[in-house]
Amino acid sequence: MKNLFYSFLFLSLAFFSCKKNELNGNALIRGVVKHHAKIIGNATVFIKFNAKEFPGNDTTLYDSKVRADANGNYSIKCYKGDYYLFAVGYDEDVPAPHTVKGGVPVNIRNKETVEIDIAVTE
């Protein structure tokens, strides 16, 4: 009975310690939000876990978000898995309401740093 308990404990720890498609992992996605060559500062980058394709414009469908800094730089600590990043920002050079948006799929294979800019358009 004691061996069964330790086997269950080991399997439980192994199962719950394997994280996939969550934030704050040992991999990093980073880049810049840009509208053509123009940097879009303070954009919001929405993150959808376990997604290879565009989930849509409805930001409530996304699992988390981060804010790019004033220079358009964003970074997301995550684990191995598939993610879809969708950025929304503002560019005063486009017609009102000045909103630009766009996205990109990202696959994390291991403990790695992936550099990927997010291109946004009107």
> How far apart (Å, rounded) are the C-alpha atoms in residues 42 and 98?
14
Partners of residue 99 on adjacent β-strands: 90
pLDDT in tens, 25-81: 999 999 999 999 999 999 999 999 999 999 999 999 999 999 999 999 999 999 999
pLDDT at site 9: 38
* Structure confidence at residue 22 (pLDDT): 75
Domain segments of the chain as ranges: 20-119
Nearest residue to 79 (alpha-carbon basis) of 44, 107, 46: 107
How is domain 20-119 classified at the architecture level of CATH? Sandwich (2.60)
At 1, list the tokens.
């009975």
pTM greater than the 0.75 cutoff:
yes
pLDDT above 50: residue 99 = yes
